[in-house]
């Protein structure tokens, strides 16, 4: 019996939900920074900017691993997870680009 995993099964995999959580953490860091310090661009990047960069960059190996492992086994569910991961990344990046931080 060769059944393909559904979206609800795949989203529970660490390589599926970790990038989404990392994006939400990155968004929370930017939102917290903007709420406490305002949306002003500084000449020197602070700790919040570095943590945001690390969270965003660290997602790419996880997303690549997830895609390589699951796109062949369950293409529809894996594509949906990849879309969710991409949307979460857009949510994390939107304030940075919109506020020119």
What mean pLDDT is predicted for residues 78-89? 97
Rounded Cα distance between 40 and 71, Å, is: 41
pLDDT category at 1 given cuts 50, 70, 90 is very low
Per the structure, how many domains does the chain have?
A: 1
Rounded Cα distance between 44 and 82, Å, is: 34
Judge whether 26 lies within some domain: yes
Judge whether 45 lies within some domain: yes
**57 pLDDT higher than 50:** yes
Q: What is the predicted pLDDT for the residue at 45?
A: 81
Q: What is the predicted pLDDT for the residue at 2?
A: 58
Q: What percent of the chain has pLDDT over 90?
A: 76
Judge whether 50 lies within some domain: yes
Which are the contacts of 5, defined by CB distance < 8 A and separation ≥ 6?
70, 73, 74, 77
Judge whether 44 lies within some domain: yes
pLDDT top residue among 5 and 68: 68
């Amino acid at each position: 019996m060769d059944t393909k995993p559904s979206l609800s099964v795949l989203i529970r995999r660490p390589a599926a939900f970790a990038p989404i959580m990392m994006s939400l953490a990155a968004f929370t860091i930017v939102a917290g920074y903007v709420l406490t310090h305002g949306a002003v661009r500084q000449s020197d990047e602070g700790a919040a900017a570095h943590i945001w960069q690390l969270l965003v960059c660290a997602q790419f190996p996880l997303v690549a691993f997830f895609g390589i492992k699951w796109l062949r086994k369950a293409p529809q569910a894996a594509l949906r997870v990849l879309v969710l991961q991409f949307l979460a990344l857009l949510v994390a990046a939107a304030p940075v680009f919109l506020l020119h931080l």
